[in-house]
Amino acid sequence: MRVNVQSFFSLTTFTAHFYTMKPFSLIFFLLFSSTLLSAQDLLTPAQFLGYPVGAKYTRHHRVVEYFKSVAQARPDIMKLEKYGETNEGRELLITIIASPENLKRIESIRRNNLDLAGVQKDKPTESISDAPAIVWLSYNVHGNETSSSEAAMLTLYTLVDPKNSQSKEWLKNLVVILDPCINPDGRDRYVNWFNSMVGMHANPEPLAREHVEPWPGGRSNHYNFDLNRDWAWQTQVESQQRLKKYNEWLPQVHVDYHEQGFDQPYYFAPAAEPYHELITPWQRDFQGLIGKSNASYFDKNGWLFFTKERFDLLYPSYGDTYPIYKGAIGMTFEQGGIRSGLAIINKNGDTLTLTDRVMHHYTTGISTIETSAKNQQRLVKEFKQFFSDSKAGKIGEYKTYVLTSKDENKLLAIKKVLDQNGIESGSISNKSFKGYNYFTGKEESFVDEGLQLAVSAYQSNAVLAKVLLEPKTKLTDSNTYDITAWALPYAYGIKAYAVKEKLEVNTEVKPASVITVQTASYGLLIPYTSLNAAKVLGHLLKSNVKVRYTTLPFTYNGKEYERGTLVVLKTSNASVNWNAIVNEACQKYHVQPVVVETGLMDKGADFGSTDIRVISAAPKVALISGEQSSSLGAGEIWQFFDQQMDYPVTLVNANDLGRFNLKNYQVLIVPDGNYKTLTDKATTDKLKDFVKSGGKLIAIESAADQLAGADWGIKLKEDKQEDKSEYAALKKFADQERTALTGSIPGAIYKVDLDNTHPLAFGYPDFYYTLKQDSNIYDFMKDGWNVGVLKKDAYVTGFSGIKVKSKLKDGTLFGVQQMGAGSVVYLADNLMFRQFWENGKLLFCNAVFLAGQ
């Protein structure tokens, strides 16, 4: 059969010179041919799809079907594994590609690789002296960065094509794992939208409808969560399933495929500074080898690229850094292409096509495989050394991290994320030691809060343990791509000590305490000391149980109970089986209820006192969403209610707020966003009427800032710093980026002084650690409650520009303002940032259920 060569060259937009380059010469022709037939039943992507890759977008199920068809055609060289499903039920899968000889012993290779890392529980069935290196390529973590899933099909065919002698040589030294789409829900959201917008011919004009993606866009998952920031925290179902599979393999090389703005050329390793101090010389050097290989192919084809800029290696929850902290060479590859559809005219006047984007990603993938195959022995050797050094305790100055708390659930929450990442933890018997106290910032003797959780630096995952737990991350360059502080003791609000001596840690798994069922005739008490108690509260309210809570401490049967303790009495609950419902909720969320037999307390208010408040009905909650709101900000809250609290919430488009009946709701949450609605007088009057009539408005981040800029009773603190020198306006052009850093705060931790006598701060000590990502802070409210404030010297860790540091003091971050019969809650910061800032979630629940009652 004949191929129209002219149309083929036009479609692929490659130079003739590129086709003379090995190992790509024959491959490219086969990949794009929809007429040539392959031997046996193996089809090229074009043959299977019915169109050349790059001619149109491929829906996820068709990508999956192609992978399945190849697995059926080449079972001798390829194994397909489904590792999970998305929130919307789409398949998540990987394909494992190896030489026929290695595929027969693939389980032994996997177990041997884990043994090299020291994390194989049982000895491998076969010791492999010349083990293949493992290369893992991950595609399409951001749904609207679509070209990489298309490239995955080309890469797959290249590796399994029986005529390809180069790939046969590579697979003698490698096992290659492909994850064709990390985020199928986001991908299909974008692809389905785009396919419904485009006509017979793509329109390359940047402002054409097909390039203007509507809210929320396809970048995020079902809950509008950015999966590329979730590798370490594993808060999303896609991440949890993928990382479980990833940690069953631990590849030596991992590439995470992305796209950036369509005006940008291609980015590949080596990465920009800052590098985390624990990144090894080999991990740096191999990035350089990959960069040189990629550059050689790009140069010969006249493709532009850049390296060593913008994308650093610090924040631990990316698809490049997380693998690095797990012993791999982790890399991000970024193709220009967001919003570009099938074709778009960039700022240089060139037309960038989907085919261009696909082939650039395909080329770096093949280049990475080729380079890894050449360096197989060194990759395996350095991988083993990485983990050997970790087990020998050579990582960092701190050799043990000890966390302590009165509340078991707080320790269980942090243990869960450690377990998910393979970080061993346990108990200690020696409690006579000194360490860096995270809460005081000083070297102090250990003070036991009652329960402990310890992590030793003498373990295979010591690098990741240090990265996640170290009190202060060392920065080699303050110009970073993401947050610069994330230490888990601050994020989880748990007292911790970083200890320079090696303490013996017993990693024997101990079961959590057993919650016993309580039978009460008068009532039950539920200590309010963690997020788990707030989940119990939500469960009781939606089950029509009337719940009381205490506003003052009290003593019953000789035991002291703090403010916020939940009280469920037979009184007012005769119509429901309140005792059984409380036990059900406490079992579900692991909180021990306590029987109370009388309303007469040893000390403090009796249960008939006005100091005991009652929540007579479950508040109906509405959340502003849609255009004007931040998709990520609204998505976090939606996912929190839906997946974590299991509490109903109504999502309302901001554009519909004017006609939405607020009288049916008690709580309205306005997440981060840029709201025209809040500048509309009719809408703001409606919101104020809602509050004055007894409603509660919760404004978060920029939404709170917008209220502060209007007539709502709170004001942004002015930045009074001004350089009044004669030459203040004179600045060097070359210094513009560095100059801007003085007013930058990409993500630093500050200590907030809390008024924990206010219901907004029930369940907390008199402080809270917040992640500041901007310089916004409010003047102290004269007619409201300044519940969370920054005083002098509130900075703890992370990069904060000198101008920002001088501003972030003597002001309010969290406040409550009474307005008529209702209240407004102002939250300047994101209390549940990326769902891993665990300690802020109780504060958020307090805002919903307790504040303003």
Q: How far is CA 334 from CA 258, 328, 623, 682, in A?
A: 5, 19, 34, 45
pLDDT number for residue 518: 97
pLDDT number for residue 31: 53
Instruction: Give 127-140 as a DSSP string.
Output: --TTPPEEEEEE--
Contact predicate 798/762, CB 8 Å? no
Contact predicate 137/333, CB 8 Å? no
In 3-state terms, what secondary structure has residue 655? helix
Q: Which stretches of the chain drop beneath a pLDDT of 70?
A: 1-40, 124-126, 721-724, 727-728, 738
- Residue partners of 726: CB distance under 8 A and separation at least 6: none
How far from chain centre, in Å, is Cα 391? 28
What one-character DSSP code corresponds to residue 613? E
- Residue partners of 580: CB distance under 8 A and separation at least 6: none
Please report which helix (H) or strand (E) contains residue 226, including its range: none
Kindly report the pTM of this predicted structure.
0.94
Residue type for 621, please? Answer: V
| Spatial separation of the C-alpha atoms in residues 843 and 853, rounded to whole Å | 15
What one-character DSSP code corresponds to residue 399? -
What would the pLDDT profile of 461-499 be if each residue is shown by its tens digit? 999 999 999 999 988 877 888 999 999 999 999 999 999
In 3-state terms, what secondary structure has residue 188? helix
**SS3 readout for 49-86:** HCCCCCCCCCCHHHHHHHHHHHHHHCCCCEEEEEEEEC
| Spatial separation of the C-alpha atoms in residues 632 and 748, rounded to whole Å | 20
Strands (E), 597-647: 612-615, 621-625
What would the pLDDT profile of 62-97 be if each residue is shown by its tens digit? 999 999 999 999 999 999 999 999 999 999 999 999
Would you state the structure tokens that stand for residue 607, as one six-digit string? 């249960």
b/e 514-543 (16+ beta carbons within 10 angstroms → b): eeeebebeebbbbbbbbbbbbbbbbbbbeb
Contact predicate 76/103, CB 8 Å? yes
Dihedral of the alpha carbons of 35, 40, 43, 47, in degrees to the nearest 10 = 30
Contact predicate 431/490, CB 8 Å? no
